[in-house]
Amino acid sequence: MKKLFIMVLSVLFFAPAVFADNWGAGIKLGVGQNDPESLNDIYDYIGGKLTEGNGIFGLEVLHEWDLNDEINKLGVKVGFDVYGENEWKNPYYHTITETIYAFPLTIYYKQDYGVERWSWFAGAGLTFMKGEIEEGPETYKDSQVFPHIIAGAEYRFTKLFALGLEAKYNIGAKLEKGSYETDRSGISGALTARFYF
């Protein structure tokens, strides 16, 4: 599945680089739904302290193609998202820490109204998510590919810089690591800053 993901990324994103004129890079900070199912069960049964990381930090690169005019665009973006850690602590047991990161690939349609105006976009894609649980000396890993949909808007302050809001919905973003399960399905929201060149 990883090879297929890389192949699709190469064809859709890097092959058209010869014709590049609408590239961008971005950074985002957001929050999203987070259900560390197994850690919640341990907390309910044993107690201790459970810290749930709902935050999301992301980086992205994108390319947009003009369609029939300069307003309607087709875009492709790939990102790297780091999710906040889930951690359970009890003085009589090992600390259990859950780390998750993801690589979303998204194709989107955008109506770009230019500088000093709002533009909007909507799209869908696939996310490759990888997670691991560290419990003392043991580490459990799992990965998953699942679909997502996005929608958002951005305000273009200059030709080079825009700030925006983005909503994303993950479908079936569930990981099983050893006997541990966690679920990042559902909605997330983020503030984005994009630099165009």
CATH of the domain at 109: 2.40.160.20
pLDDT surpasses 80 at 27: yes
Strands (E) in 69-111, as ranges, are 72-89, 96-111
The DSSP code for 4 is H
Q: Domain containing 76: what range?
A: 2-14+21-196
Number of domains comprising the chain: 1
User: pLDDT tens digits, residue range 113-136?
Assistant: 999 999 999 999 999 999 999 998
pLDDT band at 140 (very low <50, low <70, confident <90, very high): very high
Q: Which of 34, 24, 74 is nearest to 197 (CA)?
A: 24
Position with higher pLDDT, 180 vs 27: 27
User: pLDDT tens digits, residue range 159-171?
Assistant: 999 999 999 999 9
Model confidence, pTM: 0.85
